[in-house]
Every structure is written in C-alpha cells, then in structure tokens.
Amino acid sequence: MTLLQLKYFCTACELSSITKAAEKLFVTQPTVSTAIRELEQEFQIRLLNRRSKGMALTDEGMAFYREACALLQRVNDFENQIRFMAEQKRYIRLGLTKASGASVYQEYFAFGVEHHPELNIVVRFGASEELLPRLRDGKLDVIIVPRQEEDEMDEFRKAELCRMGMWYCVSAAHPLAKEKELDVSMVLHEKMVSTLNDNNKMKVMERLFEPYGVKPAVIQRYEQISMALSMIQANVATGYFPEGAVRNYSGIVGKPLREEPLVPIYLVWTDEGWRREEVRTLIHYIRKFYMDR
C-alpha cells in the first residue's frame, strides 16, 4: 500500500468515477483502476462494485475510505508542520526594545550586513517585559534589552554589549536645559511623558526617587517614542530615555542623572537558540562588533 494508491482511491470515491478521478489527477484511467485493484489484492477485500455507469463502495470499501481519508489528512498535517518548522529555521527572530535595543542594533546593522549577508533576520519590537516571555517560550531567538531592575535573567545566556547613557530630557526652552549637570533632586516635581509598557524604566525611576519620598509624575504614555519626544520638544513635559533614542532630536536637551549615568545593554538568548548555527553566527558577530569598539 502506498500513499499514492490511497490518494487515487479516495479521489475516485469522492468523484464517484474512476474516469473523473484520472482527469483530476492528470493520469490515465488504467492507472487509477490498477491502484485500486492492487489495494483490493493486498488486503483481500472488494472495495468497489463496478457498474456500467459508475461505481459504488462496498461496506468494506466505505470503512477503508474513511480510514484512508483520515490517514491522508494526517500525512498532510505532518507535511505542513514540517514545512512550517523548516520555514521557522530559515530566519532569526530578533527582539529589540524600542529605544535602547533598537539604538544598539542600528549601530551594528551595517557591520552585520557586511559580515553575514546570508542571515535572514526578522525584527520584533517590544518592551523588556514582553520580549523576555517570548524568548522563554521560543517565540524569539535572541533579544537586546537593558539591564532589568528586578530580574537578573539568570535562566538565559547573556552577554553585556555596551553601556548606554540614560538621559533626562527637556525642551531647549526649559530652565533645566541651561544646567551643566542634573541630579534627581532637580527633577523630582517635573511632569513626565513615557512609552507604553515602561515598567522596567519606571522601576529605575522609582528607585532613584524613593530617597526623597516622591514618585515619578508620568502624565501620559504613548505607543511611539516619537510622540513622547514631540511633547518634550513642545515643552509640555520632560522624560527619561536612552541616549541613543534622542541624540538626533533637535529642540531637546538630554543630560544624564548623576545617580544613574550608564545602563548595561545585554544580548540575551537561550540554550535552545544556541543550537542553531545561524543564531550562533549572529551572536558571534554582534559581540565581536562591540568588543572591538
């Protein structure tokens, strides 16, 4: 018994005609008839009652047809699953935080294209608290995130790539723009804007503000960092963002807070991801790029 024989038999049953089955399958009528006859001979049962104007399934033929259809469907599902798995292996799923992760990868991008143009990388953006669960569940292969305030990420493999300044950002028209340096005491009562899902950053801010008995006053959160920065440009509010995300924005002055000048940025992956050669290649070159700087 072969899958091709089962396909010929099931198609003939569905069309109630060996002739129509042959036409649909682009084979000759004797090819379909022979396949069905070979099944009958192999299992010593009659599958069809052949008539001058068509065919009819026997009781055994009906039972055989149901099982054959189920088997062909399972084979089809199996093939689709394997194709999907193979497709997943063809590209690397890289997760980036919208500010620091995107900034770090942007610096690396030209180097990466030059040294491993064969890698197919699909980038997904999200907050750290979104990317880490996706990495854990195998939905991402590698992520670039800042240090986590309350998570050492010990369940993963990780490497520090660089340290990025976190800037307290104000409009060029804001009084603080003229200060040479800033500390937390100078921004305690400033209204702030931020981005959605900013839990990790807010935990940092809360830690910095806690000695003064004050909580950060975030008045609005936006999906896009560009919208938050436009509010700062307009002197509506202030904000706290990675240096790389705001460096090229005119009309915004950013300065590090004395208490928190630099934040480590990590490349993070799993043992499962490490088994793939493409993932190892990407990790190698990103680490090399930042080690050689």
Give just the sign of the alpha carbon dihedral 271, 273, 277, 280: negative
The CATH architecture that domain 92-284 belongs to is 3-Layer(aba) Sandwich (3.40)
Distance CA 210, CA 207 (A): 5
In the three-class reduction of DSSP (H, G, I as helix; E, B as strand; rest coil), residue 154 is classed as coil
Three-class secondary structure assignment of 48-97: EEEECCEEEECHHHHHHHHHHHHHHHHHHHHHHHHHHHHHHHCCEEEEEC
Q: Who contacts 127 (Cβ-Cβ below 8 Å, separation ≥6)?
A: 97, 98, 195, 196, 197, 198, 199, 200
What's the CA gap between 195 and 218, in Å, rounded? 10
In this prediction, residue 86 carries a pLDDT of 67
- CA–CA gap between residue 232 and residue 6 (Å, rounded): 68
The architecture in CATH of the region 3-88 reads Orthogonal Bundle (1.10)
pTM score: 0.66
- Is the C-alpha dihedral spanning 174, 196, 97, 124 positive or negative? negative
* Mean of the per-residue pLDDT values of the chain: 91
CB 138 within 8 A of CB 131: no
What's the pLDDT tens digit per position in 141-198? 999 999 998 888 999 999 999 999 899 999 999 999 999 999 999 999 999 999 988 8
Q: Residue 49: what pLDDT?
A: 86
**Within the chain, which residues score under 50 in pLDDT?**
none
**Domain spans of the chain?**
3-88, 92-284
pLDDT at residue 209, rounded to an integer: 96
In DSSP terms, which residues pair with 168 in a beta bridge? 240, 255
DSSP 8-class letter at 224: S
What pLDDT score does 265 carry? 95
Each residue's pLDDT tens digit, 258-275: 998 789 999 999 999 999
